[in-house]
Structure formats: C-alpha cells, structure tokens
Amino acid sequence: MTSDETRGDRAPAAPAPADRAPADRAPADRAGADRARTAAALAVPPVVLAGLATARYGTGAVGDALGDALYAVLVLLVVTLVRPRLPVAARAGLALGLCWAVELAQLTGGPAAAVAAWPPLRYLLGTTFAWPDLLAYAAGAGVAAAVMVLSSRRSGGPGRPALRRP
C-alpha cells in the first residue's frame, strides 16, 4: 500500500511558506525585496567610486581601514542584490563571512599569485593578510546594515510603520 492509497481522498498538504513559488509570496514581501534591490543597485556605483578614490588617494592605516570598510559595504550590497528577502542581519553576516574568507585566503598565497597574473584582481582579492582588516570589514558591514535598517524603517518597509518626521 503506497502513501497515496493511505491518504484516501484527502487533498495534499499545503506547502510551507518557504516552499511557495515567488509568485505566491505576498505582494508586500516582493515590494520590500524590490525596494531593497533597487536601493542596493543605486548605492553600488558611489561605493565603488569611493573605494577606488580611497585606493588611489588614501594613505596609512586610516586609508586602509576605510578601503576595507567600503569593500565590506560593497559585498553587502551585492548580497542584497542577490538575496534581498534575507533579513538585513543575515545579509550583513553573510557579507562579513565572505570578506573574512577572502582575507583568510590571503594566508595561502593564492590571491597574491592571482594578482601577479592579473593585477586588477588586487581590488577583489587583496594580497597580504592583516588582522586589522577583519575589524574594518566588521565595521563596514555593521554600519551599512544599520543604515539599511534605519532607511527601511524610515520608508515604512514591509510590516513596519514609517517613522514620523518632525
């Protein structure tokens, strides 16, 4: 006897919310994801330009830290473009994990070899591990996540009332 025969005439169970197709999701969920994706897409160019300016004109520890923080912001924006429905904290954690993975990979020498083969990869992979970079990534992802949360609340994102402006 198969499981279909034991069920009889009962209708199959409704799928869990995570199993629903995107078309079945609530319109507010799609609208919130669309807003997050649009905001991230609009923020990418200025963040890239700021990062390139920091790489060109930044000096010393402050320039390095700012560049690393902007790198983390960019990674968070890319994660938001790909997975806008994830909670902001999850996106920030994923972005931070990716940044740390790239930084830790520098201990292997692989990124340095890749950069030697094609120098523009230094903007993506870096070359030399530095533990303060890990802190700068955390600061960049944290500040960007806070901005995302505050801007979402200010605009009255899905399920949230808009904050009143004085």
Using CA atoms in the order 143, 144, 147, 148, what is the torsion angle rounded to 10 degrees?
-140
Q: What is the pLDDT of residues 132-161, one digit of tens each?
A: 999 999 999 999 999 999 998 766 554 454
Q: What is the pLDDT of residues 24-78, one digit of tens each?
A: 556 667 888 999 999 999 999 999 999 999 999 999 999 999 999 999 999 999 9
What mean pLDDT comes out for the span 2-24?
Answer: 52
What is the reported pLDDT for 48? 97
Angstrom distances, CA of residue 138 to CA of 29, 68, 98, 100, 151: 28, 9, 11, 9, 20
The residue with tokens 């994990």 is 97
What is the reported pLDDT for 159? 44
Q: In 3D, which of 90, 84, 50 has the Cα closest to residue 70?
A: 50
Helix (H, G, I), strand (E, B) or coil at 106: helix
For 30, residues 6+ apart whose C-beta sits below 8 A from its C-beta are 22
- Answer for the pair 47, 77: CB distance below 8 angstroms, yes or no: yes
What is the reported pLDDT for 27? 61
Alpha carbons within 13 A on the beta-carbon side of 53: 7
Helix (H, G, I), strand (E, B) or coil at 97: helix
